[in-house]
């Protein structure tokens, strides 16, 4: 699967660092990742948490994420190629959840509000997703904050250094219903 490109690409390291900080993972946590993409965030969470459930509805994403986990030597991730609504129909509870994919928020967030004990973090790049997520989380009474992260990286040019920005990301944080 090396060389496989996915829409959205892997989460940038700096964005992932802030997102993981906001999740506040512990060694005993069971975590859900909706929209696991390349598996980069799944692997980072698996290095801290006890169990990670990583789902994506795209078979090519799940295959790539499995390769990423295997290459990283982590074995505490359960990958599923399924729609989040179907996966969440089960009875499993989670300590934290991370959403890298944002389709179906209207159906997913109310369910996550009941199934997540502590923290939900959503990464969004579009203003419309930010607005929808905040509105839905407020309706559930669990919205905490939204943070915009803008990162620029240095690049050499004409014997000097300039900075090129990467796309800004909104990191939306909510507390699970059990914390209310």
Q: Where are the domains of the chain?
A: 13-179
Round the average pLDDT of the chain to a whole number and report it.
Answer: 92
Quick one: what percent of the chain has pLDDT higher than 70? Answer: 91
Name the nearest CA neighbour of 148 among 121, 120, 123: 123
Q: How many angstroms separate the CA atoms of 142 and 180, rounded?
A: 7
Q: How far from 18 is each of 21, 93, 146, 150, CA to CA, in Å?
A: 5, 24, 12, 11
- Confidence tier at 10 by pLDDT (50, 70, 90): confident
pLDDT at 1 over 50: no
Q: Where are the alpha helices (DSSP H) in 3-76?
A: 13-23, 40-46, 59-72
CATH number of 13-179, picked from 3.20.20.150, 3.40.50.150, 2.40.420.20, 3.40.1030.10: 3.40.50.150
Name the strands in the sheet holding 51-56, side by side, starting at the edge strand that comes first in the sequence. 77-81, 51-56, 30-34, 94-99, 116-124, 169-175, 143-149
The pLDDT tens digits of the residues spanning 115-163 come to 999 999 999 999 999 999 999 999 999 999 999 999 999 999 999 999 9
Per the structure block, which two tokens stand in for 154? 């240095």
This prediction has a pTM of 0.91
More confident residue, 104 or 77: 77
pLDDT at position 4: 55
Q: How many angstroms separate the CA atoms of 157 and 160, rounded?
A: 5
pLDDT at position 90: 86
Per the structure block, which two tokens stand in for 40? 């980069």
């Amino acid at each position: 699967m090396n060389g496989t490109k996915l829409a959205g690409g892997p989460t940038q390291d700096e964005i992932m660092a802030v997102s993981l900080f906001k999740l506040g993972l512990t060694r005993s946590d069971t975590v859900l990742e909706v929209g696991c993409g390349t598996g980069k965030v799944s692997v980072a969470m698996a290095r801290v948490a006890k169990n990670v459930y990583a789902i994506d509805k795209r078979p090519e994403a799940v295959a790539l994420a499995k390769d990423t986990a295997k290459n990283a030597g982590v074995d505490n991730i359960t990958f599923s190629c399924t729609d989040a609504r179907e996966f969440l129909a089960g009875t499993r509870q989670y300590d934290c959840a991370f959403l890298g994919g944002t389709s179906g928020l209207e159906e997913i967030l109310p369910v996550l509000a009941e199934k997540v004990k502590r923290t939900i973090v959503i990464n969004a790049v579009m203003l419309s997703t930010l607005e929808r997520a905040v509105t839905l989380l407020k309706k559930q009474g669990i919205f905490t904050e939204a943070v915009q992260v803008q990162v620029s990286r240095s690049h050499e040019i004409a014997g000097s250094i300039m900075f090129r920005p990467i796309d800004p990301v909104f990191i939306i944080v909510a507390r699970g219903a059990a914390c209310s």
